[in-house]
Amino acid sequence: MARVVVDPVTRIEGHLRIEAVVEGGKIKDAFSSGTMVRGIEKILKGRDPRDAWAFVERVCGVCTTVHALASVRAVEDAIKISVPKNAELVRNIMFCTQYVHDHVVHFYHLHALDWVDVVSALSADPQATSDLAKSISNYPKSSPGYFSDLQKRLKAFVDSGQLGIFANGYWGHPAFKLPKEANLLAVAHYLEALEWQKEIVKIHAIFGGKNPHPNYLVGGVPCSFNLEEVNAINTEKLNLVGKLIKDAMNFVEQVYIPDLMAIAGFYKDWAAIGGGLSNYLAYGDLPTQGYGNIESFKFPRGAILNRDLSKVYEVNGKDENEIKEYIAHSWYKYSVGDEQGLHPWKGETEFNFTGPKPPFDQLNVESKYSWLKTPRWKDNPMEVGPLARMLVGYGRGSQEIKEVVDEALKKLDVPVTALFSTLGRTAARGLETRLTVRWLKGFYDDLINNLKSGEVSTFTREKWEPTTWATECEGVGLTEAPRGALAHWIRIKERKIDNYQLVVPSTWNASPRDFKGQRSSYEEALIGTPVAKDGEPLEIIRTIHSFDPCLACAVHLYDPDGNIVHQITVE
Amino acid sequence: MEKNIPTIRQAMEAKGYSRRDFLLFCGLATAAAGLELSGLAQVVQAFETKARPPVVWLHFQECTCCSESFIRSTHPIVADIIFDTLSLDYTETLLAAAGAQAEKCRDDTIKNNQGKYILLVEGSIPLGNEGYCMIGGKSAEQILKEAAAGAAAVIAWGSCASTGCVQAASPNPTTATPIKKIINKPVINVPGCPPIAEVMTGIVTHILLFGKMPELDSQGRPKEFYSRRVHDTCYRRPYYDAGLFVEAWDDEAARKGYCLYKMGCKGPTTYNACSVTKWNGNLSYPIQSGHGCIGCSEAGFWDNGPFYQHLGAFPGFGIESTADTIGVTAAAVTAGGIALHALTSNLRKRKLIEKNKEESVVVAPISEETDKKEVVETEKGGDEDGKSSS
């Protein structure tokens, strides 16, 4: 048995290490380790709760905004306020913009090179590539000349001998299955997507001043509308938002989805690989009648066990018996013993690095081996992310979700069980992008209509001053980050943060085993994955990338009692 | 095929630079790299033979917002940088290879280009424990030191690498440390959370376009982008001078885009290009979209205070004393003259604005401090012309 170590796992956010045990060309066991810690929650203690969004937004710059949203919701829940309709709509527009941007960038810039052989594209026929492009989409950039020019540029780049980001790639690996022309098409769209992605985020700049890390506000949104003023969001800015949404719809429908379906058609074997866990969790999001009205969410909330889509369980973030975090294999220690699980409101953390002293070759996976804690829902390991959202939505009977899922299954001619796989996860991300870009347009139209009715308010003022708050209060802010279910828990005492905790998507998915030895999503999904060439982890990163890892989010600590965090000296 | 691609020297010649200019450029690059003069020949050769300078981009304690910002650049666009300008030989965010193959990209680039590659660093280094940040089983500190040793130039992207940023905020649980305190080399600091995309691409292309390193201030920041306070270049500055302030979020003054100073805006103490270069293709910046500046390019900004407490409320600082003394750094251009000018013209401007624009709402009252200063200035009989000549 060989131990394959993949560290760094590239084309992700953060620092992830995978150790896999390979036997007979297949993965027999796997270990996922987050190898960086910062301690954001510790830093939040004692600060103004209204500032928290800015700190936690810096948890992740790839899924920027989602932590800010969870944070302002947690504070609003604690101080018991709701936000005006315009603020809800702007937040939904920001949310959908983030999804569309993040999913497209993930597909082309973080995931595509697992499926696309760049070197093969060099020998593609531009005319045949043009024919292929026209057969799957009406995207205008599809002439033979366009592909020929791109190929020449790529050739000059390769011939320079400086391969940059493509150096040491797995080119020619037997797991690459695309025809040359599909490879050239995908490389062309890698560059198109790179240019387009900087446009869609302008929506964040309009409402939040900048991207990455736009501004949020407890009680609403910081921007103001004024149709009689150039110094606020006016018709011109709204027109720009409308134009960017239109361009985004075109890009998703003419480029991303046709490419996804075409590439998926060549990799149907991956619909039987990488399924992993059989439990799925989604908090849901995109309220249409206020955040308190869960029934109105575009993404429904719920949990699925054993892949039984006929039953979707209720999920309650405030129930201390539902969500707990374990640290049996995490570099922390609990005062109640490392075998116990703690609800985030009762959580505690002390650093306890017991790993090998760097530089090292292998982790001691029998002991603690990650900076990620291990969250569980009713002690079940759960997968979160686009697939979980689509499945929960499907199970809840959302017509919009059922339509896009069924259409894709039919087009690929695969059964519904194909969803439980690496390919299914990657496809689900594309399908929900189709939905979010449509919803983006819908929320924009709603915003225009609301402004038309004369309602311009973007902020709830009554509880802005902390002197109006209860001496002690607590709240939860739930949302769906592009990578899955995200929640922040806050406790406020004397108008300051007494305790602040995050349980984030990649903690659910990338965490180490729990106290019972149950694997989390990454580890479970790698079991059975083929490894065709010794030393080349192409298949491993394919499955890992299908989750869209975001490790800076996943690692954090908190210390509700204000204990000094111990630093364990490594021998 | 290599002959068809212009080297840096050829590119410079095409832009009208002489051989002498090129040697001067190489000399400056060498000086910036802290190399001995004997290393000059090596650097000259590096830029003469390589089509694109090799670049190693390292990631430590960070959130990848700097990488995300970089790919937002509208001029130049990032595809052109990757294909035509730089050879991005190692970056965990975009590299096709993973694991051992990725590490080989990094190690080969360093080994084969000693003294000739540019090192870009995103993230701080946790000195509290080697285990707090490890890549490929190595500590962040070891990787940084190994990569910095042979680098021709080192750029610290963002506030994490420049000043420590959010993880270095009190109580700094991991002892997150900016890179300049760890490596024994000059570092170009490019603070901001993140820095503006075009500032990032502007700095890396500055060298190639103009054949010299950008001028730095005493904090190692390029003057080209960090010599002005956000406050002094803000399009809302006239409302500050006129005493027209937002008093509550989304009040009538907010809807008219008045000054956010009283809402905690840190523009008066922040040096950055936000209000001129702006964000996302010159589109907007925080203040323009209604939220005050949080000062994300200033060292220690996370501990400078609640974000919504206005600067004048801090003990010891009045409105302009805050604005004009806190932010002063040894090398940066101060704006004392502008402040004097502002005070004398406050009342006049306010009247003008009120007169010229039909104000249907109550104008926000100006702060006590401003009132007092205005009275003093008015009593002195100062006017705009008189002050500007004094």
Instruction: For residue B364, give how far its alpha carbon lies from the nearest alpha carbon of chain A (Å).
Output: 16
Per-residue model confidence as pLDDT tens digits over A366-392: 999 999 999 999 999 999 999 999 999
Q: Which residues of A have a catalytic role annotated?
A: 13, 60, 63, 67, 483, 506, 550, 553
Looking at the structure, do residues B211 and B291 belong to the same domain, yes or no? no
Looking at the structure, do residues B219 and B95 belong to the same domain, yes or no? yes
Which pLDDT belongs to residue A346?
85
Looking at the structure, do residues B261 and B138 belong to the same domain, yes or no? no
The percent of residues in chain B predicted with pLDDT above 70, rounded, is: 67
Which pLDDT belongs to residue B208?
76
Please tell me the total count of domains within chain A: 1
pLDDT-derived band at B217, boundaries 50, 70, 90: very high
| Residue A232 token pair | 């606020």
**The domain that contains A544 carries what CATH number?**
1.10.645.10
**The domain that contains B292 carries what CATH number?**
4.10.480.10
Mutate to test the interface with B, among A5, A6, A36 (most CBs of B within 10 A): A36
pLDDT-derived band at B183, boundaries 50, 70, 90: very high
Which pLDDT belongs to residue B41?
42
Letter for the amino acid at A159? Answer: D
A475 contacts: CB under 8 Å, gap ≥ 6: A73, A74, A75, A76, A77, A78, A79, A489, A490, A492
**B169 with A537: Cβ contact below 8 A:** no
Is position A563 within any domain?
no
Is position A302 within any domain?
yes
Is position A129 within any domain?
yes
Is position A339 within any domain?
yes
Please tell me the total count of domains within chain B: 2
Q: How far apart are the C-alpha atoms of A329 and A332, rounded to whole Å?
A: 9
Is position A565 within any domain?
no
| Residue B57 token pair | 């981009």
Which pLDDT belongs to residue B383?
37
Is position B230 within any domain?
no
Which pLDDT belongs to residue B42?
45
pTM of the model: 0.88
Which pLDDT belongs to residue B239?
97
Does the CA dihedral B326-A58-A107-A523 come out positive or negative? positive
**B133 with A36: Cβ contact below 8 A:** yes
Instruction: For residue A151, give how far its alpha carbon lies from the nearest alpha carbon of chain B (Å).
Output: 13
Nearest CA-CA partner of A52 in B307, B193, B191, B292: B307
Which pLDDT belongs to residue A534?
85
Instruction: For residue B366, give how far its alpha carbon lies from the nearest alpha carbon of chain A (Å).
Output: 20
State the DSSP code for B341. Answer: H
Is position B372 within any domain?
yes
Is position B83 within any domain?
yes
Per-residue model confidence as pLDDT tens digits over B241-282: 999 999 999 999 999 999 999 999 999 999 999 999 999 999
Which pLDDT belongs to residue B209?
82
Nearest CA-CA partner of B189 in B307, B93, B272: B272
Which domain-ending residue is among B225, B253, B268?
B225
pLDDT-derived band at B231, boundaries 50, 70, 90: very high
State the DSSP code for A221. Answer: -
Which pLDDT belongs to residue B26?
55
**B280 with A197: Cβ contact below 8 A:** no
Which domain-ending residue is among B196, B225, B254?
B225
Boundaries of domain holding A345: 2-554
Is position A560 within any domain?
no
A71 contacts: CB under 8 Å, gap ≥ 6: A52, A53, A56, A57, A216, A477, A488, A490
- Report the b/e string of B55-90 with b at 16+ CB within 10 A: bbbbbbbbbbbbbbbbbbbbeebbbbbbbbbbbbbb
pLDDT-derived band at B211, boundaries 50, 70, 90: confident
Is position B232 within any domain?
no
Which residue of chain A comes nearest to B1, CA vs CA? A159
Low-confidence ranges of chain A (pLDDT < 50): 557-571
What average pLDDT is seen over chain B? 79
Per-residue model confidence as pLDDT tens digits over B329-368: 322 333 333 343 344 345 455 555 555 443 333 333 334 3
Boundaries of domain holding B367: 237-389
B390 has pLDDT over 60: no
Is position A570 within any domain?
no
Is position A561 within any domain?
no
| Residue B355 token pair | 């007169």
Which residue of chain B comes nearest to A231, CA vs CA? B257
Which pLDDT belongs to residue A420?
98
Per-residue model confidence as pLDDT tens digits over A153-208: 999 999 999 999 999 999 999 999 999 999 999 999 999 999 999 999 999 999 99
Per-residue model confidence as pLDDT tens digits over B11-70: 556 656 666 656 655 555 544 444 433 333 444 444 555 679 999 999 999 999 999 999
Which pLDDT belongs to residue B29?
53
**Which residues is A478 bridged to in the sheet?**
A487
Helix (H, G, I), strand (E, B) or coil at B209: helix
Which domain-ending residue is among B201, B225, B249?
B225
Is position B231 within any domain?
no
Per-residue model confidence as pLDDT tens digits over B307-319: 999 877 544 444 4
Looking at the structure, do residues B198 and B285 belong to the same domain, yes or no? no
Is position B293 within any domain?
yes
**A61 with B67: Cβ contact below 8 A:** yes
**A164 with B87: Cβ contact below 8 A:** yes
